[in-house]
């Protein structure tokens, strides 16, 4: 067992049972004022505690020396035999302890302790009963009169006892072994699944841009937080040879692996359609056709936008995603218009283009529904007014500050201990303000110029 476990966990559950049983019997014998039985139970308790300490402090490694596992079983049965002999042998009311200790030994799968205890218990009980009947051992009964049994009674008692204890061992050991094997297989499967999920997470994160993009007078910043190991959200941004900037934000229905697979399909389809990046409605229509009959009746909500820096015009199309927000310095955040059917459901879906003239200093925030569905500690969902106020606070940020990080930090404070309950994805497009030469600032340190799309 791992050395970083607490020492009391190093003992086998059977060791604790070996202590509990003599304590219970000691209580009974004490109330009945049976001094000799009290001594016998104290001896049994002392041996049980000693063996527990041996396991707790790892004095003996039973995995390397499995023979030591037979020591407590032998001590249990020897003291039980003395107790049974002293209380009437075949007629002893303590004969049931043989069955109990054989069952306890069957809990230990490190060695064949259960089978050993079963055979030894049958041998001890049978020999004690037979030798007492034959007169080799003087009959003793310290708790009352000795009840004699005939030969048939002794043989019947031994046979019934052997059947009971053998059946007990078989049932207990089989249940424990099956449980152990099932747990071991489950642990191995869980480790493999976790390893696969970790690999899938790394692959998915490799498909999502993590650094800011700087292209001319615009900067794109983003944040992506998966609720599980892998998420159903997806984002991407890219440029063409003329400097036009495309932004895609998508949200596959559901969570976990199925949603992540659909999100990956969306990425593959979008990559094939880069030649249509200047036409948002056409891009959405082709994405819809690419996903039809391939998502098992699941859908994808998305927003695709293209920014033309030469004219400072943003054109975008919606497919069931929350509309973007315009953040203009000195003004409240503005929820933009736009709607459209989700992707992958309707064969003849139609998508429309919204157009917006941007000014220096403007920011556009694209996001999935994980943001406007955030809930506070009290379980109250973020309403439109709260979201507007939250985004309005971002307009005061300096151009070099990361607006995406600020938004996520504000949402984290809103959710409190509840945390996020869905994948969180947002992209912030920022148009550089007009600055004097002295106040001009370089783009963020983590920004990178990506190669244009072919």
Per-residue pLDDT of the chain (454 residues), as tens digits, is 333 444 333 456 666 666 776 776 677 666 556 666 677 778 777 877 887 787 777 666 656 666 777 777 787 777 778 777 777 777 777 777 777 777 777 666 555 666 777 788 778 888 888 888 788 888 777 666 544 444 444 454 555 556 556 556 566 666 666 676 777 888 888 888 888 778 877 877 777 887 888 877 899 999 998 887 777 888 999 998 888 999 999 999 877 788 888 888 898 899 999 999 999 999 999 999 999 988 887 899 999 999 999 899 999 999 999 999 999 998 999 999 999 999 999 988 999 999 999 999 999 999 998 898 899 988 899 999 999 999 999 988 887 788 999 999 999 999 998 889 888 899 999 998 876 554 444 545 444 444 444 4
266, 216, 220: which is closest to 247 by C-alpha? 220
- What is the structure's pLDDT at 304? 96
- What is the structure's pLDDT at 380? 92
- Report the distance separating Cα 371 and Cα 356, nearest Å: 23
| Alpha-carbon dihedral sign for residues 441, 447, 449, 452 | negative
- Report the distance separating Cα 191 and Cα 202, nearest Å: 17
Is there a domain that residue 73 lies in?
A: yes
For 241-269, give one letter per residue: b (16+ CB within 10 A) or e: eeebbbbbbbbbbebeebbbbbbbbbbeb
Q: Which two tokens stand for residue 328?
A: 């203009």
What is the number of alpha carbons within 13 Å of residue 411 lying toward its C-beta? 30
CATH assignment of the domain containing 214: 3.60.40.10
- Report the distance separating Cα 58 and Cα 451, nearest Å: 62
Is there a domain that residue 297 lies in?
A: yes
Q: Are 219 and 443 in contact (CB under 8 A)?
A: yes
Which of 194, 225, 253 delimits the end of a domain? 194
Q: Looking at the structure, tell me whether residues 178 and 220 fall in a common domain.
A: no
- Report the distance separating Cα 225 and Cα 167, nearest Å: 56
Is there a domain that residue 167 lies in?
A: yes
Q: Looking at the structure, tell me whether residues 219 and 367 fall in a common domain.
A: yes
- What is the structure's pLDDT at 6? 40
Strand partners, 223: 426
- What is the structure's pLDDT at 426? 93
Strand partners, 427: 222, 366
Q: Looking at the structure, tell me whether residues 243 and 358 fall in a common domain.
A: yes
- What is the structure's pLDDT at 366? 96
- What is the structure's pLDDT at 175? 66
Q: Looking at the structure, tell me whether residues 189 and 219 fall in a common domain.
A: no
- Report the distance separating Cα 107 and Cα 127, nearest Å: 26
Q: Looking at the structure, tell me whether residues 213 and 154 fall in a common domain.
A: no
- Report the distance separating Cα 52 and Cα 12, nearest Å: 8
Strands 245-252 and 354-357: unpaired
Q: Looking at the structure, tell me whether residues 276 and 300 fall in a common domain.
A: yes
Which of 141, 164, 194 delimits the end of a domain? 194
Structural domain that includes position 52: 7-194
Q: Looking at the structure, tell me whether residues 242 and 329 fall in a common domain.
A: yes
Burial of 336 (0-12, 13-18, 19+ CB in 10 A): middle
Q: Which two tokens stand for residue 28?
A: 């009974």
SS3 content of the chain, % helix, strand, coil (to 5): 50, 15, 35
Is there a domain that residue 48 lies in?
A: yes
Q: Looking at the structure, tell me whether residues 186 and 253 fall in a common domain.
A: no
Q: Looking at the structure, tell me whether residues 219 and 323 fall in a common domain.
A: yes
Is there a domain that residue 212 lies in?
A: yes
What is the distance of C-alpha 111 from the center of its chain? 33
- What is the structure's pLDDT at 144? 64
Q: Looking at the structure, tell me whether residues 217 and 274 fall in a common domain.
A: yes
Is there a domain that residue 203 lies in?
A: no
As for how many domains the chain has, the answer is: 2
Q: Looking at the structure, tell me whether residues 172 and 314 fall in a common domain.
A: no
Is there a domain that residue 51 lies in?
A: yes
Q: Which two tokens stand for residue 179?
A: 């449980």
Q: Looking at the structure, tell me whether residues 236 and 190 fall in a common domain.
A: no
Is there a domain that residue 442 lies in?
A: no
- What is the structure's pLDDT at 131? 85
Supply the pTM of this predicted model.
Answer: 0.60
Which of 194, 223, 238 delimits the end of a domain? 194
Strand partners, 342: none
Q: Which two tokens stand for residue 400?
A: 């070099």
């Amino acid at each position: 067992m791992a050395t970083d476990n607490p020492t009391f966990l190093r003992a086998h559950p059977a060791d604790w049972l070996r202590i509990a049983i003599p304590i219970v019997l000691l209580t009974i014998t004490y109330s009945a004022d049976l001094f000799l039985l009290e001594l016998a139970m104290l001896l049994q308790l002392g041996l049980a505690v000693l063996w527990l300490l041996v396991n707790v402090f790892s004095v003996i490694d039973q995995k390397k020396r499995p023979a030591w596992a037979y020591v407590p079983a032998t001590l249990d049965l020897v003291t039980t035999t003395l107790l049974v002999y002293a209380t009437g042998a075949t007629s002893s009311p303590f004969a049931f302890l043989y069955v109990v200790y054989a069952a306890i030994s069957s809990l230990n799968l490190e060695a064949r302790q259960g089978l050993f205890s079963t055979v030894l218990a049958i041998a001890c009980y049978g020999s004690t009963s037979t030798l007492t009947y034959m007169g080799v051992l003087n009959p003793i009964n310290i708790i009352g009169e000795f009840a004699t049994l005939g030969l048939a009674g002794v043989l019947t008692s031994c046979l019934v006892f052997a059947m009971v204890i053998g059946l007990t061992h078989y049932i207990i050991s089989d249940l424990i072994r099956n449980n152990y094997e099932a747990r071991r297989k489950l642990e191995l499967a869980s480790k493999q699944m976790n390893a696969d999920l970790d690999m899938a997470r790394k692959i998915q994160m490799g498909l999502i841009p993590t650094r800011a993009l700087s292209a001319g007078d615009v900067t794109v910043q983003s944040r992506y937080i998966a609720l599980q190991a892998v998420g159903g959200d997806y984002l991407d941004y890219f440029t063409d040879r003329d400097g036009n900037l495309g932004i895609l934000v998508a949200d596959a229905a559901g969570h976990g692996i199925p949603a992540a697979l659909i999100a990956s399909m969306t990425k593959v389809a979008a990559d094939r359609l880069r030649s249509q990046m200047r036409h948002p409605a056409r891009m959405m229509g082709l994405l819809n056709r690419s996903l039809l009959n391939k998502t098992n009746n699941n859908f994808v909500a998305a927003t695709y936008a293209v920014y033309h820096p030469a004219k400072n015009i943003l054109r975008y199309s919606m497919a069931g995603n929350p509309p973007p927000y315009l953040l203009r310095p000195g003004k409240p955040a503005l929820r933009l218009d736009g709607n459209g059917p989700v992707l992958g459901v309707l064969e003849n879906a139609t998508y429309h283009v919204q157009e917006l003239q941007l000014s220096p200093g403007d920011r556009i925030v694209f996001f999935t529904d994980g943001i406007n569905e955030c809930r506070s500690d009290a379980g109250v969902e973020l309403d439109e007014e709260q979201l507007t106020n939250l985004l309005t606070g971002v307009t005061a940020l300096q151009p070099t500050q990361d607006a995406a990080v600020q938004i996520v930090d504000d949402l984290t404070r809103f959710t409190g201990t509840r945390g996020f309950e869905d994948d969180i994805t947002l992209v912030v497009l920022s148009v550089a303000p007009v600055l004097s030469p002295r106040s001009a600032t370089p783009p963020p340190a983590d920004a990178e110029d990506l190669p244009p799309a072919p």
